[in-house]
Chains A and B, each alone.
Chain A
Amino acid sequence: MIRRDKHLAIAVFLGPAMVLYAGFFALPMAQAFYVALFRWRGVSLDRQFVGFENFCKLLTNDPVFWQCLMHNLAFLVVSLVVTIPLALFFASVLSGRLHGSQTYRAVFLFPNVISIVAVAALWSFVYHPTFGILNSFLKSIGLERYTTGWLGEPKTALPCVIATSIWYSLGFYIVLLLAGVQSIPRSFYEAAWIDGAGGWQSFRYVTIPLVWEILKLAIVYLIIHTINIFGLVWVMTEGGPNFHTETLLTYLYRQAFVQSNFGYATALGVVVFVIIFGITVIANRLMKRETVEY
């Protein structure tokens, strides 16, 4: 009796979640690998099995795809070079007994909880050619010749969007790394100091090795976030001017919901998934290094 009761309870508790998750999450994800094999235009039943044609076309015959990939890589590389060192720096500073470090942390994290659409809109205004604060700031310090259309110019559009994405996400990485730095026992730094280590040396030989696991996690997050960029670009520039800020996912959205190339767009989705998966695995391999236990 109790046994049957238990099985019934398990079914009732687990059932709704499993049905919804399988039907509206797992099924579409799995179907993607199948839809990608069709030439499928519009919502009609007008579809044709073409095997790997979409993938071939994407990888060998679509310059926009490679352009998008380069743009995502630019996001990734710039973020790696700027975000990670800055986050590590701020995390180290905030883990000390500085006055107000709680407040600084709260301020730094805030952009990360705003809607990405609001962030995009806010920064579109910052970069606005006529009333944006960037141009009026340049004018006020006498650098008027550097004022420009920012998001409207092919040369400046991508750097501007990348800067915004760093502004948006830096706080997240600070808080993430802060957790690691704070868990390092204080006595380690005292020991290093007694051994004659200066500021930089104790950072290099105590902080870095001991936060390595979390640093790895942060880098993997960064990879996933920069490949998955969509809303920021779509709202700020719609991939323009003339595809100069188009990223993998804005291109996917355009293919699927502007041009109704469902099969092709889904093939792109599969490629993006494989890229994320691949880079994550490679990054984990490259960063394999003895974890220091303490």
Chain B
Amino acid sequence: MDSEGYTSNYQTRPLKRGSRWKNFLLHAVLILYSAIVAYPMLWLLLASLKSSRELFESPWGLPSPPQWGNFAKAWVEAGIGRYFLNSVFVTVVSMFFILLIGSMAAYALARFAFPGRGVIQSAFTSGMMFPVFLGIVPLFLLLRNLGMWDNYFGLITAYVAYSLSFTVFILTGFFKQLPNELAEAGLIDGCSHFAVFRKIMLPLAKPGLITAGIFNFFGIWNEYPLALVIIATDSLRTLPLGIANLLMVQHYETDWGALFAGLVIVMLPTLIVYLIFQRQITERLTAGALKG
């Protein structure tokens, strides 16, 4: 906001008397907003350890004693455990195919010149403009007709198809940066095109695969609308679907502690992945912004 922040480390400018106060004020604002972000989640964590009675009687207090049983109840009785394992399965399998199929396509688009390449590339890129909901009814009817509705085969196929646009776009950029000479050298040494891809180019594109993987992880682990339309059977529900359902049904029941515990279980994997890859995530957003 103020030029102060940019120059305070430079000797070109004497420190003004007011700047200490200004710094203090800026920190106060930043801490206030951090509290607005973090407080609801801390409250959730505390609430997940309270009994229903405590929740109503002392909404601000610490849980005493902590009801660890809420987590066991959420995992077993509310079905969160099954939803969790379903989500792990769907996310892992979808990501495997997205990265495999996406990197193969991106490699072909980045490395080979052939007629129609530009058209195919822009067909993939322009897919990012289309809202999920535009094609949702035709997709639903298509999956029904093919016997792919209400099963993981259909859900994972839809996830892969919907993620390709973004994934191919990102990975093509990465493969284009790799020197072509390496691939040529591999071919001269007698490698097949597939061996060049798998043994030479794919390992080099690892940073790209990690970036695409992170964003696809968040996209699929958190995905809600497609799962809502494609999955109907309770035992097949993914975590977001299960939580949404519990919440909507729970309007009439009252095991709040278990529901709070369930929410903590949903957020935990995202928090862990976020903490590990925070740098890559902000870098990617930044790069996307600067390239326009």
List of A residues within 8 angstroms of B224 by Cβ: 115-117, 230-231, 235
A93 to B120, CA, bound (A): 42
List of A residues within 8 angstroms of B131 by Cβ: 224, 227-228, 269, 272-273, 276
B1 near A89: Cβ-Cβ < 8 Å = yes
Which of B64-72, B74-82, B107-115 forms contacts with chain A? B107-115
Confirm or deny: B249 has a beta carbon within 8 angstroms of a beta carbon on chain A.
Answer: no
A228 to B290, CA, bound (A): 24
Nearest opposing residue in chain A for B221, CB measure: A115
Q: Which of A228-278 contact B (CB under 8 A)?
A: 228, 230-231, 234-235, 238, 249, 252-253, 256-257, 262, 265-266, 269-270, 272-273, 276-277
A16 near B6: Cβ-Cβ < 8 Å = no
Q: Hey, which bits of chain B sit against chain A, CB under 8 A?
A: 1-10, 12-13, 23, 26-27, 29-30, 33-34, 36-41, 43-44, 47, 55-56, 59-60, 101-102, 104-105, 107-109, 112, 114, 120, 123-124, 127, 129-142, 144, 157-158, 160-162, 164-165, 168, 192-194, 197, 218, 221-222, 224-225, 228-229, 239-241, 243-244, 247-248, 256, 259-260, 263, 266-267, 270-271, 273-274, 278, 281-282, 285-287, 289-290, 292
Which of A28-36, A55-63, A74-82, A153-161 forms contacts with chain B? A28-36
A133 near B43: Cβ-Cβ < 8 Å = yes
Confirm or deny: A96 has a beta carbon within 8 angstroms of a beta carbon on chain B.
Answer: yes
Sample of 8 A–B contacts (CB below 8 Å)? A9-B193, A28-B135, A92-B1, A121-B243, A133-B43, A190-B3, A190-B12, A273-B134
Contact flag A43-B141 (CB < 8 Å), given A29-B130, A104-B30:
yes
Nearest opposing residue in chain A for B162, CB measure: A25
Nearest opposing residue in chain A for B163, CB measure: A25
A228 to B134, CA, bound (A): 10
A235 near B247: Cβ-Cβ < 8 Å = yes
A90 to B256, CA, bound (A): 36
Contact count A vs B, C-beta below 8 Å: 305
Contact flag A17-B102 (CB < 8 Å), given A167-B37, A235-B247:
yes
A98 near B23: Cβ-Cβ < 8 Å = yes
A121 to B240, CA, bound (A): 10
List of B residues within 8 angstroms of A193 by Cβ: 3, 7, 13
Shortest 5 CB-CB contacts between residues of A and residues of B: A96-B5, A28-B135, A199-B2, A17-B105, A24-B161
List of A residues within 8 angstroms of B260 by Cβ: 125
B270 near A114: Cβ-Cβ < 8 Å = yes
A186 to B47, CA, bound (A): 46
**Out of A18, A35, A171, A272, which one reaches B37, CB within 8 Å?**
A171
Confirm or deny: A175 has a beta carbon within 8 angstroms of a beta carbon on chain B.
Answer: yes
**Out of A17, A122, A178, which one reaches B263, CB within 8 Å?**
A122
Contact flag A272-B120 (CB < 8 Å), given A17-B164, A130-B56:
no
Q: Which of A1-34 contact B (CB under 8 A)?
A: 5-10, 12-14, 16-18, 20-21, 23-32
B222 near A266: Cβ-Cβ < 8 Å = no
Give, as a whole number of angstroms, the nearest-CB distance from A96 to chain B. 2
A30 to B123, CA, bound (A): 13
Say what secondary structure dominates the interface of chain B. Answer: helix
A235 near B244: Cβ-Cβ < 8 Å = yes
Among A106, A177, A197, the most chain B Cβ lie within 10 Å of the Cβ of A106
A24 to B141, CA, bound (A): 11
Say what secondary structure dominates the interface of chain A. Answer: helix
Nearest opposing residue in chain B for A218, CB measure: B289
Give, as a whole number of angstroms, the nearest-CB distance from A43 to chain B. 6
**Out of B9, B29, B132, B266, which one reaches A115, CB within 8 Å?**
B266
B127 near A32: Cβ-Cβ < 8 Å = no
Contact flag A20-B164 (CB < 8 Å), given A111-B37, A167-B37, A217-B292:
yes
Give, as a whole number of angstroms, the nearest-CB distance from B130 to chain A. 5
List of A residues within 8 angstroms of B34 by Cβ: 104, 107-108
**Besides A10-B108, A118-B267, A179-B285, 19 new A-B residue pairs in contact (Cβ under 8 A), listed by A number:** A14-B120, A25-B165, A28-B139, A109-B278, A110-B271, A116-B222, A118-B240, A118-B266, A120-B244, A122-B263, A171-B37, A179-B286, A190-B12, A192-B3, A193-B3, A214-B292, A217-B289, A231-B240, A234-B244
Give, as a whole number of angstroms, the nearest-CB distance from B225 to chain A. 6
List of A residues within 8 angstroms of B193 by Cβ: 5-6, 8-9, 13
Give, as a whole number of angstroms, the nearest-CB distance from A233 to chain B. 12
List of B residues within 8 angstroms of A24 by Cβ: 139, 142, 157-158, 160-162
